[in-house]
Structure 1
Amino acid sequence: MTVWRITGGEGGPDPGAREGPHYDIVEHDSALLRITAASGLPRVLITGEVDVSNTAAVTRALRAVQERVPGDVHADLTGVEFMDVAGLRAFTEAAGALHDRGGLLVLHGVPPHIERLFSLIGWNASPGLEIHCPPRR
């Protein structure tokens, strides 16, 4: 796993500006999947494909975010194009671990086809998992 911090530098975002999270920690970067996190915030941005080949990276990234900032973890899945059952399991297991500590894994921007898989399997009702603001159909 490669982890590095990207600094704002000249022309970077104004630290006082009200804007969305600045994803400045790269948790994982491969041909299929990119996971970036917002330092100081319990947020992670996931783009690409989540499958059996990279679920360990998803699990590590979600755990790392929770260790940096305790409480609920928010994952933006807007950029996820594909997820298999192993990927669904990684999110539900992470949600279960957070639930055991009194937290939630909140998934944002879940593409309709992935939300449908969660629902078909019944894992959308997993303890500690909340699918928040699903895309409009």
Structure 2
Amino acid sequence: MTDALHIDVPHADGTLAVIALSGEFDITTAPAVRTRALDLIADGHPDLVADLSGVTFCDSSGLGALVGIWRCAKEAGGSLTLATIPDRLNRMLGVTGMDTFLPAHPSTEAALAARRGDRTTT
């Protein structure tokens, strides 16, 4: 039995939004995550923080969705920041080299603070 994916948006203010995922991020759920993230970008929130603390499994489709979201955010003048990455997923990001272009923080609060810091220095 799979762990159903839940997508929440606990924070959306100005250009910044948090998308929180819990469950399995795989070939069956990646399209819904991508769609929700692109909707947030289209709604004026191109700076996304993805809270991955509840992700129990991630396959290559989930990683591909993150790259697609990152590209779309970048094209909209925004960014994608990861927060609270489970150890197994963190290792996958390192092996694939995705950790070189997707900034990560130990918590959503730390990611939000870093984003606010970015905004005040630009």
Runs of 4 or more consecutive aligned structure 1 residues displaced over 6 Å after TM superposition: none
Q: Percent identity?
A: 26
Query: Which one has a bigger Cα radius of gyration?
Result: 1
Match of 1:34 in 2: 6
After superposition, residues 83-94 of structure 1 pair within 5 angstroms as 83-94=58-69
Give the Å deviation of 1:98.
1.0
Give the structure with the higher percent helix.
2
Counterparts of 1:98 and 1:52 in 2: how far apart (Å)? Answer: 21
1:48 to 3, 18, 23: 23
Provide the TM-score with structure 2 as the length reference: 0.75
**Highest RCO, 1 vs 2 (Cα 8 Å, sep ≥ 6):** 2
Provide the TM-score with structure 1 as the length reference: 0.67
- Segments of 5+ residues of structure 1 without an aligned counterpart are 1-29
1:132 to 79, 102, 105: 105
Match of 1:113 in 2: 88
Q: For this pair of structures, how many residues does the alignment match? A: 103
Superposed CA RMSD in Å reads 1.9
- Segments of 5+ residues of structure 2 without an aligned counterpart are 108-122
